Chains A and B, each alone.
Chain A
Amino acid sequence: MTPRNGNGTNIEVLLVEDSPGDVRLTKESFRDANPSVNLHVAIDGVAAMTFLKREGLNANAPRPDLILLDLNLPRMDGREVLAQIKEDESLRLIPTIILTTSDAEADIVRSYRLQANCYLSKPVELEAFESLVKSINEFWLTMVRLPQQTETQ
């Protein structure tokens, strides 16, 4: 099966995650699973929004093809980040995957209500974590057709 996304260029993924350990693991898992993934990391909600809106030092940031979003974040909560993404006429088209340790029903339902594209809970076990990242790569970056937006839109 040939990857159906991108045009031979890199796939830009924004990871919004404050835990250095989880950032490290996600990076390593993507490096193994798909070398064409460019993983960008924002360590809090404010940093995520400035990246997405290309503010300040992020003026040349690429538009992500996919966002992986933790819920519990410093400065601006992941739920607020999700709400802002999905209220933005342009950003709302970027598939946003919730990746969090919470598996509270209230968080799950609320995230779907805020239009998360899907909700995954982070396993605590190392191999399960790697396997989950691999499954995100296989499904979202291989099977799914992601929206290709031109910059003017």
Chain B
Amino acid sequence: MSLIDAEGRPIEVLLVEDSPGDVRLTQEAFRDAQQAIRLHIVNDGVDAMAFLRKEGAHADVPRADLILLDLNLPKLDGREVLALIKEDASLKTIPVVVLTTSGSEVDILKTYRLRANCYLTKPVDLAEFLNVVGSIDDFWLARVKLPQETTK
């Protein structure tokens, strides 16, 4: 079932994650995704904003349909990245799924206050980690209607 994309274009997913292990695991988990996706990876907050704004080396990248955002990132913190996305008139409609090791209530509240679309904690257990990524595939990529912005 593909509810999202009538044109058969792959769903562009931007993963903002500095841990190489978590990047690798997420890639592997999405390899078995039911949906046609393209996973783009950036390793810090500055690079995430450059990708989203199509600056520098990212001039020709597609617009992300969904963003998976870690909170603790080098250069520019994930909370700051989230705030910048949700303050930007063009970027704010892109759903942002926060995916982080922090399970603190303070982080959770603060992240919803910054208008994250949802908050998931990264389990340390491998099978559970794959399960979380699988749930993003099952829900966000297979069920949810993502916004299709026609302007860039």
Contacts and interface: CB of A to CB of B under 8 A. Distances in A.
A145 B121 contact: yes
Given A105-B148, A120-B144, A121-B145, A148 B108 contact: yes
A138 B138 CA distance: 10
A144 B119 contact: yes
A120 B143 contact: yes
Given A138-B138, A149-B109, A118 B144 contact: yes
A143 interface: yes
Nearest to B94: A112
Q: Is the interface of A mostly helix, strand, loop or mixed?
A: mixed
Interface in B97-123: 103, 105, 108-109, 112-113, 115, 117-121
Contact of A145 (B95, B108, B135, B148): B108
Contacts, number: 78
Nearest to B103: A145
Interface in B122-145: 128, 131-132, 135, 138-140, 143-145
Contacts of A139: 135, 138-139
Contacts of A113: 92-93
Nearest to B150: A105
B3 interface: yes
A108 interface: yes
Which of B93, B105, B119, B140 has the largest number of chain A CB atoms within 10 A? B93
A95 interface: yes
Contacts of A93: 109, 112-113
B147 interface: yes
Interface residues of B, number: 31
Interface string A97-141: 000000101001100110101111100000000001001001110
Interface string A30-49: 00000000000000000000
A109 B146 CA distance: 8
B149 interface: yes
A149 B95 CA distance: 23
B92 A140 contact: no
Contact of A147 (B94, B103, B109, B147): B109
Interface in A44-102: 92-93, 95
Given A135-B138, A138-B135, A108 B118 contact: no
A105 B6 CA distance: 12
A34 to B, nearest CB: 15
Q: Top 5 closest A-B pairs, CB basis?
A: A139-B139, A112-B93, A119-B145, A93-B112, A147-B112
Given A109-B147, A145-B108, 18 more contacts: A1-B128, A92-B113, A103-B145, A105-B147, A105-B148, A112-B95, A113-B93, A118-B140, A132-B143, A135-B138, A139-B139, A143-B135, A145-B119, A145-B121, A147-B108, A147-B119, A148-B108, A148-B109
